[in-house]
Amino acid sequence: MSDALVETRYGKVRGTNQGTVRVWKGIPFAHPPVGELRFRAPQPPTPWPGVRDATAFGTIAPQATLQGNGFFGASRLTLEPASEDCLYLNVWSPLPQGDGQKRPVLVWMHGGAFTMGSGSTSSYDGANFATHGDVVVVTLNYRLGALGYLYLGELAGETYATSGNNGLLDQIAALQWVHDNIEAFGGDPDAVTIFGESAGAMSVGTLLAMPAAKGLFQRAILESGAAHSVRSKEIASKITSDFLEALNLRENEMASLLQMPVDDLLAAQATVVSKRATLAFTPVIDGVSLLLAPSAAIADGVAKDVAVLIGTNRDEMKLFRVGPAATIPDEGVLQRTFGAAADEAIATYTATRPSLPLSDVWTDVLTDQVFRIPAIRLAEQQAQQGAPVWMYRFDWATPAFGGRFGACHALEIPFVWDNLDTPGLAMLVQDFPGRQQLAKRMHFAWIAFARTGDPNTPELPAWPTYDTNHRATMLFDKKCRVVDDPQAAERRVWQGLL
């Protein structure tokens, strides 16, 4: 194992030493999905002769940077080489290697609205996890946007029946690679925790329900995402029609779609996203790779043997509703959201926030609709199967920018990874009092969960499992505490909805 040389099933790779951690970057876990393989399920990588250099990250998936997300590394992504040849992963493993130990493995699914992000973003450097937890960390790229989630099953036949879930199938291919190879890096293939944030957590929630992922992980952590971001084949096909229209293609011109320059695909993707004003490219219930809506499958017990840690941030939507974006809903929006209970729902939210303007109240409603309530639904369904479930809420509000972002979406990431000084994030988690102590508490809770399936640590108050009687929730803040059923009145507003 000298010089970080490891033999995988596909060939040897040489990484680098990074202090007390060895790092391998840019290892292919699937064949490049280019040419005729565009829009098709990932294929196994081609073995290579000799020793492959694994000292530089692989190219990231083609993507467009969304405005407003530069805080979280997205602006940096535009500087990284991008290519359809993007299916690479990275491994951090503690020294010494070759000691015969099998360490728990953490596999990260990055976020980014299913249209941006990468496993090589600096926020996801796994050195601290490896050092502090004696665990192996894996990050990866997967196909994004139309290349990852354009459903062609109705147009192009059986070969493309699973094209609407290519991004998830890429993740499964990476998990299969981990199962087959991670022992050579000091990891235990039977002690794998998948974790992710935002679209990454939504991916994790969907992987819980996918037959091909069964047995490839034993624990799951979902940060600000759940099992609800999927589409039916009918809706996915309408999105495909919009996409083809943006490219001026007819439905029988599949060959042209395979030959289209990737920049043209990204432009059409942007047109569809702007038209639908929502997550246009998300996983699809295709009846082949994903048989049921994930929430229904979880309620049926498909993942009852998987321990789950799940939670959200107190002010998720403040990241997206700053300045002019902080609109006030009209009557139609309220009716579509709450139906006949619209007046009662708004009255409940305003009663618990009497000093806030309606725009801020609506921000909290959206936080619950998009993030918190779906997380509660998954926790309820999984707990009712007898699986161990832990719930958290991240309440630490950044004082930066006058406090306008609060405990916003993605703010927990540098605390979980204990990477507080990462470029792009440091401006929100500057050297404020108590930040390192909170990072230690979250970081070691995640490590404990990866090691034992239980996030309790000596640094935290006793953290009970989640059930529908008490709904125990760990609030991560300057002072961490457990509260039963926080925001209970608002939670009850959503009964029968979502």
pLDDT digit string, tens, across residues 144-170: 999 999 999 999 989 999 999 999 999
The token duo for 116 is 């941006």
Nearest to 380 by CA among 285, 293, 495: 495
- Cβ partners under 8 Å of residue 20, min gap 6: 94, 95, 131
Active site residues: 198, 316, 409
The token duo for 81 is 């080489």
Contact in structure between 164 and 151 (CB atoms under 8 Å) = yes
Instruction: Collect the ranges in the chain with pLDDT lower than 50.
Output: 1, 66-78
Q: Return the pLDDT at 429.
A: 86
pTM for the whole structure: 0.95
Contact in structure between 393 and 476 (CB atoms under 8 Å) = yes
CA distance 74 to 112: 8
Q: Return the pLDDT at 326.
A: 79
CA distance 61 to 83: 6
Q: Could you tell me the domains of the chain?
A: 2-228+287-493 (3.40.50.1820)
Q: Return the pLDDT at 71.
A: 42
* DSSP alpha helix (H) spans, 428-487: 435-452
Nearest to 383 by CA among 296, 468, 453: 468
Nearest to 303 by CA among 177, 375, 389: 389
Q: Which residue has the tokens 């929100």?
A: 428
